[in-house]
Amino acid sequence: MGRIIAIDGPSGAGKSTISRLLSQKLGFMYIDTGAMYRTAALLALEAGIDLSDGEKVAALCESLSFSFRVEGDTVFVTCNGRDVTRAIRTHEMGMHASDVSKDPRVRAVLTELQRELGRKHDAILEGRDIGTVVFPQATYKFYLDASVEERARRRHKELTTKGENVSLEEVEEAIRKRDYNDSTRQVAPLKPAEDAIIIDTTGKDIPTVIQEILGYIK
Ligand code: DC
């Protein structure tokens, strides 16, 4: 197995930008596990599958194959040869992803795909349960956090820059709901691994957080 860096934490904590930059700096493969849950939700919706039908969503996940490619500041996500990068990055798909991710059957299939991807390379995996469940033996584990208000502001800026028409209040409300869903679910809830290094990114810019993380990586 290659070296694994786990980056976990709630939405808007800065995981994606930090993971992408670290992968570019260190030459590690970047695996965005949230994108996999988002894609599962997208494809299930397109296939007319009820998102609460875990058995069907899990069966669909069995047929999926993912690849990630970082180009500049974009992470391109391809699933079964289709570029889903834009389609999965909506506010709505984030909520749907949180819903499908509750089901243990769906998690089991995607967790296995994540392990297969991570086993082949030095990799940075970003998600909610990487350090606790997917790769508990990861070389480094980081848990990024920030205040709800700051995470909502960041996510709102990101969505409106992409042209989505959504208010800051709606985003904050959705983040609170997702935090609740993700941290109270029965299987692999969002929580720091016991041996994770916890970094509060509130009020810190990206270069500061990158430096802090690089300070731990030998
Ligand atoms: O990181 P994100 O916003 O793209 O994640 C979307 C949802 O997917 C998140 O609300 C919970 C779920 N998720 C998960 O359960 N486990 C992961 N490792 C990654 C994401």
Q: Give the 3-state secondary structure of residue 214.
A: helix
Calculate mean pLDDT across residues 169-173: 96
Q: Which pLDDT tens digit goes with each residue over 182-209?
A: 999 999 999 999 999 999 999 999 999 9
Q: Which two tokens stand for residue 39?
A: 């894609």
pLDDT exceeds 90 at position 167: yes
76: β partners = 69
Q: How far apart are CA 22 and CA 31, in angstroms?
A: 12
Residue nearest atom 10 in ligand 1 by C-alpha distance: 98
Q: Which pLDDT tens digit goes with each residue over 7-65?
A: 999 989 999 999 999 999 999 999 999 999 999 999 999 999 999 999 999 999 999 99
Q: Mutation test of ligand 1: which of 33, 117, 145, 181 has the most ligand atoms closer than 8 Å to its C-beta? A: 33
Q: State pTM to two decimals.
A: 0.94
Number of domains in the chain: 1
Interhelix angle for 91-100 vs 168-184, to 10°? 10
CATH number of 204's domain: 3.40.50.300
- pLDDT score at 205: 93
Q: Which pLDDT tens digit goes with each residue over 68-126?
A: 999 999 999 999 999 999 999 998 999 999 999 999 999 999 999 999 999 988 999 99
Domain that holds residue 125: 4-216
Residue nearest atom 18 in ligand 1 by C-alpha distance: 127
Q: Which pLDDT tens digit goes with each residue over 147-162?
A: 999 999 999 999 999 8
Q: How far apart are CA 185 and CA 37, in angstroms?
A: 15
CA atoms within 13 A on the CB side of 126: 24
pLDDT band at 2 (very low <50, low <70, confident <90, very high): confident
The C-alpha angle with vertex 64 and arms to 63 and 66, in degrees rounded to 5, equals: 160
